[in-house]
């Protein structure tokens, strides 16, 4: 099982589909379009930021805890399902979930009490995961690391209004903070082997050459971990050469 991680707009969903097509397996996607809380959360962030600017230092986002428990519940169910079979790929996982609740607490969008309750729930879930999913952890975690500028360009390209800094200027600070949180998370993550992909350097969505380079980086790591055979690795490499020859 492979899990993807990375900030908003880093290309997780795109790489998940590319890998699923490459390896002939099933992709699992983070719920966004059927998430009734996400637009409320972004609006709540904007309202809380305005209240704090007006002197209300205790103003919180009433939807921060609700959003994180929504995601936590979905991600727990998703990883349990994905871990039932071999060779599945998730475009985000429960392993990075705490980043968002911790950051929202530090920003004042959630209270310390809410964070403590959330953390206790997360810890309980992680203890149960090996029993519920019949697997202790992913075989490989892939993180797509991008700069602020790359992230903003990709957010603008997909055009979700509630993610745009033009719609909500307070997102500038939110996104910069989130980038910092991911830098810490990358250093601390130890649940499985971790591969970091430079999303600024490799445009695997638009460039065929970059896509092949990224796929071969991932497959080389899978080979080193004993998750694919030498024969499978050679077969995939040959397929890449044919792909690059196509018009």
177 is in an annotated binding site: no
The model carries a pTM of 0.88
Give the pLDDT of residue 83.
84
Q: 148 and 176 in contact (C-beta within 8 Å)?
A: yes
180 is in an annotated binding site: no
The number of CA neighbours under 13 Å toward the Cβ of 20 is: 18
- For 119, residues 6+ apart whose C-beta sits below 8 A from its C-beta are 98, 101
Record: fold of 2-201: Rossmann fold (3.40.50)
**Nearest-angstrom CA–CA distance, 168 and 84:** 40
Tell me how far CA of residue 121 lies from CA of 73, 76, 151, 180, in angstroms: 10, 11, 30, 24
Residue 247 confidence (pLDDT) = 54
Q: How far apart, in whole angstroms, are the C-alpha atoms of residue 53 and residue 247? A: 55
User: Is 81 annotated among the ligand-binding residues?
Assistant: no
Is 30 labelled a binding residue? yes
137 is in an annotated binding site: no
DSSP three-state, residue 185: helix
Query: Biggest alpha carbon distance in the chain?
Result: 64
Count CB-CB contacts under 10 A for residue 53. Answer: 10
Domain ranges for the chain, please list them: 2-201
Are the CB atoms for 162 and 67 separated by under 8 Å?
no
Confidence tier at 131 by pLDDT (50, 70, 90): confident
Q: What pLDDT, in 10s, does the model give residues 71-123?
A: 999 889 888 888 887 788 999 889 999 999 999 899 888 999 999 999 999 99
From the list 21, 34, 86, 91, the catalytic residue is 91
Percent of the chain having pLDDT more than 90?
A: 62
Task: Evaluate the CA torsion angle 70, 71, 73, 74 in order and state its sign.
Answer: positive
Q: Does residue 46 have a known ligand-binding role?
A: no
- Model confidence band, residue 32 (pLDDT cutoffs 50, 70, 90): low
Choose between 144 and 163: higher pLDDT: 144
Residue 91 falls in the annotated catalytic set: yes
């Amino acid at each position: 099982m492979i899990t993807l991680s990375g900030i908003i707009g880093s290309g997780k969903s795109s790489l998940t589909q590319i890998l699923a097509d490459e390896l002939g397996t099933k992709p699992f996607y983070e719920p966004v379009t059927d998430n009734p809380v996400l637009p409320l959360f972004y609006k709540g962030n904007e309202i809380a930021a305005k209240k704090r600017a007006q002197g209300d230092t205790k103003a919180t986002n009433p939807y921060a805890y609700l959003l994180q428990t929504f995601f936590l519940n979905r991600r727990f169910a998703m990883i349990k399902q994905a871990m039932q079979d071999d060779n599945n790929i998730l475009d985000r996982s429960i392993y990075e979930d705490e980043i968002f609740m911790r950051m929202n607490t530090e920003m004042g969008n959630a209270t310390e009490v809410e964070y403590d309750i959330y953390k206790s729930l997360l810890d309980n879930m992680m203890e149960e995961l090996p029993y519920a999913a019949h697997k202790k952890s992913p075989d490989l975690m892939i993180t797509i690391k991008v700069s602020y500028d790359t992230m903003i360009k990709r957010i603008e390209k997909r055009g979700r209004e509630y993610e745009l800094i033009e719609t909500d200027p307070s997102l500038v600070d939110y996104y910069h903070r989130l980038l910092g949180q991911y830098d810490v998370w990358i250093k601390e993550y130890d649940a499985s082997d971790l591969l970091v992909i430079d999303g600024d350097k490799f445009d695997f969505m638009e460039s065929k050459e970059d896509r092949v380079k990224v796929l071969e980086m991932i497959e080389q790591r899978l080979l080193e971990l004993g998750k694919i055979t030498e024969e499978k690795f050679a077969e995939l490499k040959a397929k890449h050469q044919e792909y690059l020859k196509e018009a």
